[in-house]
Amino acid sequence: MMPVVSAHGLSQRYGAVAALDDISVSVPAGQMVGLLGPDGVGKSTLLDLIAGARVLQQGRLSVLGGDMRDAAHRRHVGPRIAYMPQGLGKNLYHALSVAENLEFFANLFALNAQERRSQIARLTRATGLHPFLDRPAGKLSGGMKQKLGLCCALLHEPDLLILDEPTTGVDPLSRRQFWRLIASIRAGRPHMSVLVSTAYMEEAEGFDWLVAMDAGRILDSGSPSDLKTRTGTGDLESAFVRLLPEDKRRNGTGLVIPPLTAAAGPPAITARGLTRRFGDFTAVDEVSFDIRKGEIFGFLGSNGCGKTTTMKMLTGLLPMSAGQAHLFGRPVDAADLRARKRVGFMSQAFSLYGELTVRQNLDLHARLFELPRDRARERIATLVARFGLAPHLDLVSGDLPLGLRQRLSLAVAVLHAPEVLILDEPTSGVDPVARDAFWDLLVDLSRGDGVTIFISTHFMNEAMRCDRISLMHAGRVLVVGPPQELAAASPSGTVEESFVRHIEEAISNGGAGPPAADAPPQIAPDLAPNPAPDPAPDPAPDPTAGPAPDPAAAPTPLTDPTPLTDPTALTAAAPPTVRPPIRFSPRRMAAISLREWREVRRDPIRLAFAFLGSIFLTVIFSLGISMDVEDISLAALDFDQSPESREYLSSYYGSRTFSEQPPLLTRDDLITRMAAGDVAAAIEIPPGFGRDLKQGRSVTVSTWLDGANTTRAGTVEAYVSGAHLAALQDRSRRAGLDPDDLAVYEAHSRYRYNPSFESIRAIAPAVPAILLMMFPAILMAISVAREKEIGTITNFYVTPTSRAEFLIGKQIPYVLIAVLNTISLSAVVTLELGTAMKGSPAALVLGAFLYGAAVTSYGLLISSITRTQVSAIFAAAILSMMPTTQFSGMVQPISTLEGAGQWIGQLWPASYFMHLSVGTYTKGLSFAQLLPDMMALAAFTPVFLIPAILLLRKQGK
């Protein structure tokens, strides 16, 4: 049989790190293939390459019979591959409901409406997601997210299903359900190949074929029994360790935990009736426990059952809604800084500073915990040695593999020698070897230093290492006790069994908390068992694979004899017709638009900011940006003090333009008061002004203007000149001469479009152009950058979606928003101006559409050259702020700008929409007259969009 994947000499380097180092492997088709190995050995990179999500650097890779370098082949096989990247719900859209997520993926793969409905119904019934179709994906438990991810991947009936650590961070019950689901799917689709990477060796026991990896290389491959035979070991965990190079094996096979010597004194941690509510949702419900000093207390429970919330309350991060918690007999008080020094906390995610090196992180924390310098040096040296960080001291911690990062986090958490350590799933996603090393440290801290450890975990073998564990479900503690006792009480003698039973019991009692998102779904309860199972051959692995000898290890999920899922549910429907891939599919684009629109709608705050915010800004800008000058502060330095000088000055003060300030006494006075900004203009009348005038001599007065603000000085100058002329005319009139009679011509100024010459008539219609440039562009840029940051961009990489479909699809909702925003702002402007729009409203709406398209294309261009949301915001705001506010003609017509400003203004879309908007409102222009603006606006879209499409990569790097 032809291998489904064959690789020759694959190498992939990132900086100095070789993620894959000359890998050659052939993966047999139609099998369940496992990819094993510690974290950071290149498993995800390899899977990314196989799925086509990354650009191949070196070597040859053929998947489903074609070269993955070939874009045409990728496009062709794309619909036959399904990829679920690592991370709970990583490729899901959390704001969208279960049904909407499924619909989106169905549309991407061009299922027709009927296929879509039947596939969604089948898959959700089979996975037990059917009752939760309307729940947002973000509110599902981890296990349910993974099931939804699986449904999304299976909708189009792929031939190759790639799952990257699908059960990491998932509780045992959900994990068990997940593998059962996979088994039944394979039963229904025997020719489908499944490629899985996993950190759980017990899961790997059930696979058909395994590839063991380390440090970017393949150690060995073959069936589990092959590997075990070859290494002469009884279980995969030991087999894997045996395959590792000598220096990487752990010395000593097992972990020895000395018994806990009962410490005297009060418990380290006590909780009584601890409760936390978020709105009407009770996350933690009356939780009580005592943890003795030096004890390792394990906290188990499904995702989202309230473990993290409980831990946060104990650290004071979250205030409790009810109940009490004590640390060392003192109530937990968030404000008590001294108590914080006694506690070390390590949260689920890596929460150190990724941009700092290992050494810098340790140093910083030593400083913050106020360790004296010599003690800090000594402590850091000890920890570096003990945690094996020495070779990595000067590496940037964000680049370290997960296992190392977790070790560093722990080192930081114990740096100040706390008496209590609170660790929230510290080993999630860490490979077995690194996990054992981590536990060595924990045991040492507990038994050696007497540190009380409160730890949450999903690993049952870790649970067995605790002194006591508690099982939590839906905000309640179900049971507390030593793990061995709990295990013994269950029929199969495993903690996992005990765990699953307690939860199932709690669910069937129904009273255990609200049927919240964290309730594990019951598998297909609504499916009647089919009496005549599908006669498809059963490719499932040997269902009698022996149970692991360690009671901690779970029975391999695939061996579960009770098929909860009806296999026919997964095979009954006719497989959707496979359509040849199309380069540009309006349907896929529509699917992307619909999804984007739904996501936007789910964030009403963002929409409200955009709409109400722009209305608010329109109002204040159109009122506030005004060139109308009144009340120019004017003072006189009158050296003459004659009736003539007073008469001259009174002509100035007579108008509303100037406001009379107390007279100036000396030149120094003038200088001081002008420097203080008290007077904008000062008129100096020379001595003898009146006398000279009477004697018929020409006289000169001088005016000083505050020239600091050049624009304003120009305006003031014009007003002063005007007032001076008026003063002279007044004088002539008093002398009995009508100045008009002396004029030889008349000049009539007609202020067109704005006869009353008010700023607001020109500014108000211009403001929407500014706001519509900024808001949609930034929203657009963030929307793409966000996909890159949270990882949903993978859906674009691995589905047949083309670059144009992706970008234009995302763009459409924002163009629509821009048009709606224009209409709402138009209403505001119309209200403010108090007159109806004089020109063509159709031109304004069409212009808004073209402008919206141009502006969002600009946002897309920005997003295609930035990687993070922060840089997208920065670039979008900084690069567009100046051209929009300064060079688009709001205050200064573009033709009057100089140099670069004029060029930028002419090449900036805001200029044209501003012209169009002012033309519509104030000039009353018709559609035909505004056509040139619209054409210019239309030209911007391709100018921005085409480079954006070309710069967007269809694969990750």
Partner 1 sequence: MTSLRHIFWLGTKELRAVLSDAAMVGLILFTFTGMVYMQASSMPENVNNASIAIVDEDNSALTRQIANAFYPPYFQTPDHIGAGEVIPAMDAGRYLFALTFPPHFEAQIRRGHRPEILIDIDATAVMQAGLGDGYIQTIIAAEITRFLTGTDTGTDTGTETGTAPTVTNEIRRAYNPNGEMSWFNAITGILDFLNLVIIMLTGAALVREREHGTIEHLMVMPLRAAEIVLAKVWANGVIILAAFGISMTFVVEGWLAVPVAGSRGLLLFGAMLYIFAASSIGILLGTIARTMSQFALLVLLVVMPMMLLSGGTSPVESQPEMLRFFTNLLPSRHYISFAQAVVFRGAGIDIVWPDFLRILGLGTLFLLASLAAFRKSLSAAG
- Interaction of residue 613 with partner 1, rule CB under 8 A: yes
Whichever of 561 and 899 has its CB closer to partner 1, that residue is 899
Of 657-676, which residues contact partner 1 (CB under 8 A)? 674-676
User: Tokens 């309730």 correspond to what residue?
Assistant: 519
Amino acid at 42: G
Amino acid making up residue 585:
S
Q: Tell me, what DSSP letter sits at residue 445?
A: I
Considering only 59, 892, 906, 954, the residue that binds partner 1 (CB under 8 A) is 892
User: Scanning residues 633 to 652, which ones bind partner 1 (CB under 8 A)?
Assistant: 648
Binding of partner 1 by 345 (CB under 8 A): yes
Cβ 169 vs Cβ 88: under 8 Å: yes
Minimal distance, residue 895 CB to partner 1, in Å: 6
Query: Residue 950, class by beta-carbon neighbours within 10 Å (0-12 exposed, 13-18 middle, 19+ buried)?
Result: exposed
By CB under 8 A, tell whether 714 contacts partner 1.
Answer: yes
Residue with Cβ nearer partner 1 (364 or 573): 364
Is 278 a residue that touches partner 1 (CB under 8 A)?
yes
**749 interacts with partner 1 by CB under 8 A:** yes
> Within positions 373 to 402, which residues make up the interface with partner 1, using CB under 8 A?
none
Q: Which of residues 772-811 bind partner 1 (CB under 8 A)?
A: 774-775, 778-779, 782-783, 786
- Told to check if 831 binds partner 1 by CB under 8 A, we report no
Q: What is the DSSP code string of 144-167?
A: HHHHHHHHHHHTT--SEEEEESTT
User: Is 735 an interacting residue with respect to partner 1 (CB under 8 A)?
Assistant: yes
SS3 readout for 754-815: CCCCCHHHHHHHHHHHHHHHHHHHHHHHHHHHHHHHHCCHHHHHHCCCCHHHHHHHHHHHHH
Part in contact with partner 1 (CB under 8 A); list of ranges 498-506, 722-730, 803-811, 850-858:
722-730
Per-residue burial over 826-861, b if 16 or more Cβ lie within 10 Å, else e, is: bebbbebbeeebebbeebbebbbbbbbbbbbbbbbb
Residue 857 or 922 with smaller CB distance to partner 1: 922
Residue 139 near partner 1 by CB under 8 A: no
- Give me the DSSP letters along 100-158: HHHHHHHHHTT--HHHHHHHHHHHHHHHT-GGGTTSBGGGS-HHHHHHHHHHHHHTT--
Burial class (CB in 10 A: 0-12, 13-18, 19+), 569: buried
655 part of the interface to partner 1, by CB under 8 A: no
- Does residue 353 bind partner 1 (CB under 8 A)? yes
Q: Which of 2, 71, 72, 317 is the binder for partner 1 (CB under 8 A)? A: 317
Report residue 183: phi and psi, to 5°. -60, -45
Q: Please give the order of strands across the beta sheet that includes 658-660.
A: 658-660, 632-638, 681-685
Q: How far is the CB of 510 from partner 1 (least distance, A)?
A: 26
Nearer to partner 1, 715 or 802 (CB): 715
Alpha carbon distance 843, 352 (integer Å): 54
The Cα–Cα gap between 58 and 67 comes to 13
Q: Are 53 and 229 in contact (CB under 8 A)?
A: no
**If you count them, how many residues does the chain have?**
957
The binder of partner 1 chosen from 72, 627, 823, 907 (CB under 8 A): 627
Select from 625, 837, 855, 862 the one that contacts partner 1 (CB under 8 A): 625
- Tokens of residue 644, six digits: 């003539």
How many angstroms separate the Cα of 557 from the Cα of each of 34, 150, 192, 260, 561? 15, 17, 20, 33, 9
Other Cβ atoms within 10 Å of 57 Cβ, number: 14
Does 65 bind partner 1 (CB under 8 A)? Our answer is no
Residues between 235 and 254 that touch partner 1 (CB under 8 A):
none
**Strand partners for 82:** 161
Smallest distance from partner 1 to CB 677, Å: 6
Residue 743 makes contact with partner 1 by CB under 8 A: yes
User: Where is 395: in which H helix or E strand?
Assistant: none
d(CA 53, CA 51): 5
Candidates 117, 367, 375, 667; binder of partner 1 (CB under 8 A) is 367
Task: Confirm or reject binding of residue 617 to partner 1 (CB under 8 A).
Answer: yes
Tell me: does residue 732 bind partner 1 (CB under 8 A).
Answer: yes
How far, in Å, are 404, 688, 784, 811, 856 from residue 790 at the CA level?
22, 80, 10, 19, 21
According to the binding rule CB under 8 A, does residue 261 interact with partner 1?
no
331 lies in the binding site for partner 1 (CB under 8 A): no
Closer of 117 and 375 to partner 1 (Cβ) = 375
The candidate with the shortest Cα–Cα distance to 858, out of 846, 875, 843, 871, is 875
**Rounded-to-10 torsion of CA 392, 397, 400, 402:** 120
Separation of CA 931 from chain center: 40
User: At closest approach, how far in Å is the CB of 156 from partner 1?
Assistant: 31
Minimum separation from the CB atom of position 766 to partner 1 (A): 9
Smallest distance from partner 1 to CB 412, Å: 9
Task: Establish if 725 lies at the interface with partner 1 (CB under 8 A).
Answer: yes
Does residue 763 bind partner 1 (CB under 8 A)?
A: yes
Using CB under 8 A, pick the residue from 6, 26, 231, 929 that binds partner 1.
Answer: 929
Distance CA 515, CA 475 (A): 11
Does 677 help bind partner 1 (rule: CB under 8 A)?
yes
Distance CA 595, CA 720 (A): 61
Q: Tell which one of 246, 280, 526, 898 touches partner 1 (CB under 8 A).
A: 898
| Using rule CB under 8 A, residue 932 touches partner 1 | yes
> Considering CB under 8 A, how many residues would be counted as binding partner 1?
159
Nearer to partner 1, 114 or 710 (CB): 710
Contact region with partner 1 (CB under 8 A), list: 186-194, 339-347, 375-383, 809-817 = 339-347
Stretch that binds partner 1, among 131-139, 146-154, 731-739, 828-836 (CB under 8 A): 731-739
Stretch near partner 1 under the rule CB under 8 A, chosen from 209-217, 296-304, 364-372, 852-860: 364-372
At CA 194, angle to CA 188 and CA 200, rounded to 5? 115
Site for partner 1 (CB under 8 A): which residue of 329, 601, 628, 823?
628
CB of 420 to partner 1, least distance (A): 11
The answer to whether 509 contacts partner 1 (rule: CB under 8 A) is: no
Beta strands in 790-898 (DSSP E): none
Shortest approach of partner 1 to residue 681 CB, angstroms?
9
How far apart are the C-alpha atoms of 157 and 80, rounded to whole Å? 7
Bridge partner list, 632:
658
Q: How far is the CB of 669 from partner 1 (least distance, A)?
A: 14
Smaller CB separation from partner 1, 201 or 860: 860
Applying the rule CB under 8 A, the residues between 170 and 199 that interact with partner 1 are: none
923 counts as binding partner 1 under rule CB under 8 A: yes
Q: Kindly state whether residue 565 participates in binding partner 1, applying the rule CB under 8 A.
A: no
Other CB atoms closer than 10 Å to residue 466's CB: what's the count? 24
Question: Per rule CB under 8 A, is residue 369 in the interface with partner 1?
Answer: yes
858 binds partner 1 (CB under 8 A): no
Site residues for partner 1, 8-37, by CB under 8 A, read none
Please state, in angstroms and as integers, the Cα–Cα distance from residue 558 to each residue in 186, 203, 206, following that order: 11, 8, 6
Residue 605 engages partner 1 in binding (rule: CB under 8 A): yes
β-partners of residue 197 are 35, 164
User: Which positions from 291 through 310 interact with partner 1, judged by CB under 8 A?
Assistant: 309
Q: In this chain, which stretch among 185-193, 541-549, 582-590, 870-878 interacts with partner 1, using CB under 8 A? A: 870-878
Separation of alpha carbons 841 and 825, rounded Å: 13
596 near partner 1, judged by CB under 8 A:
no
**Nearer of residues 221 and 869 to partner 1, judged by Cβ:** 869
Residue list 678-707, contact with partner 1 (CB under 8 A): 683, 692-693, 696-707
d(CA 368, CA 825): 50
Is residue 453 within 8 A of residue 446, CB to CB? The reply is yes
